[in-house]
Amino acid sequence: MTAASSTLGPIISRSLAGELSVSEHETDQRIMDAVIAELGVTPMHKVSLEDVAERAGVTRMTVYRRFGDRPHVIEAALARDVSRFFAGLVAADDPGAPATERIVSSVATALSLVHGHPGLAHVLATNPGQLLETVLADDGAVLAMGSAFIAGHLAPRGRRPNADQRRTGELLARLFLSLLMMPPPSVDLTDAEQTRALAREVVVPLIA
Query: What is the reported pTM?
Result: 0.75
Q: What is the distance between the alpha carbons of residues 117 and 189, in angstroms, rounded to a whole number?
A: 13
Cα three-residue angle 180-104-186, rounded to 5 degrees: 50
Side chain identity at residue 93, one-letter code: D
- For 159-180, write each residue's pLDDT tens digit: 999 999 899 889 888 888 888 8
Reply yes or no on whether the pLDDT at 9 is more than 70: no
Sign of CA dihedral 100, 195, 129, 14: negative
Reply yes or no on whether the pLDDT at 1 is more than 50: no
For the chain, give every domain's residue range: 1-92, 95-208
Which of the pair, 54 or 191, is modelled with greater confidence?
A: 54
Work out the mean pLDDT of the chain and round it to a whole number: 84
Write down the pLDDT at residue 46.
87
- For 131-143, write each residue's pLDDT tens digit: 777 777 777 777 8
- For 87-123, write each residue's pLDDT tens digit: 888 888 888 888 888 888 888 898 888 888 887 887 7
Write down the pLDDT at residue 18.
66
Write down the pLDDT at residue 207.
73
Which of the pair, 123 or 18, is modelled with greater confidence?
A: 123
Where residue 156 falls among pLDDT bands split at 50, 70, 90? confident
Side chain identity at residue 51, one-letter code: D
